Amino acid sequence: MSSLSPPVNRLITELSRLPGVGQRTAQRLAFHILRLPPEEALPLAEAIREVKEKVGQCEVCFNLAVGPRCRICEDERRDPSLICVVEEPSDILPIERTNEFNGRYHVLGGALSPIDGVDPEDIRIPELLERVAAGGVREVVVATNSTTTGEATALYIAEQMRERSPNVAVTRLASGLPVGADLEYADEITLGRALRARREL
């Protein structure tokens, strides 16, 4: 039987459900929250409530949005003929930080995984194909993760695009050695991809 009161136990239980937060970390976070004065702790609760009540999905790209469309889809300066396909809304942030991409996005909401029962209809591939078929798109950049499921998803999208919209270019993010890495520590797959994606200096 726990020596903690039911509200504290409930807070620990809820915190431990967060990804990457185990029981001990949840306890530390709970006790930290308990030590905070109300004017610092209550805004956290209010922020969680607000985000759950106000944030939904963009009707165009399925990114996070307050209202029918996300800020990127509403931005007239972005190139609508260039679409970057990502697995989750969180994948947009690192791409945006590069300041190298000025197009729009399409969030799949996952990756193909027949073993787990995730088929093309279970993620937003049909919506992507419809969006491209509607016209005005010149290139689709597939930026799914470099995992088995991410690669399978990229290949499936490329195949479907070749069949349905052959005039639209389908590209994949280059993968290879990170900046500052030593060759002796690179695995064979990463090094092989770096060789295949080599370019002229």
Q: Write down all domains in the chain, each with its CATH number in brackets.
A: 1-27 (no CATH), 79-172 (3.40.1360.10)
Half-sphere exposure at residue 197, Cβ-oriented, CA atoms within 13 angstroms:
13
CA distance 199 to 86: 25
Q: What is the pLDDT of residue 1?
A: 43
What pTM was computed for the model? 0.82
Both tokens assigned to 53: 């009540």
Count the residues in the chain.
201
Q: Estimate the crossing angle of helix 23-35 against helix 6-16, to 10 degrees.
A: 130
Both tokens assigned to 115: 């073993």
The residues near 132 (Cβ < 8 Å, ≥ 6 apart) are 83, 140, 161, 164, 165, 168
Sequential pLDDT tens for the chain (201 residues): 467 889 999 999 999 999 999 999 999 999 999 999 999 999 999 999 999 999 999 999 999 999 999 999 999 999 999 999 999 999 999 999 989 999 999 999 999 988 888 888 899 999 999 999 998 999 999 999 888 899 999 999 999 999 999 999 999 987 776 777 777 777 777 778 777 777 776
Q: Is 62 left (phi over 0), alpha (psi -120 to 50) or beta?
A: left
Instruction: Tell me the C-alpha to C-alpha distance, in Å, between residue 8 and each of 4, 31, 32, 48.
Output: 6, 8, 12, 18
Q: What is the pLDDT of residue 42?
A: 92
The three-state secondary structure class of 113 is strand
C-alpha 170 chain-centroid distance: 19
Q: What is the pLDDT of residue 29?
A: 94
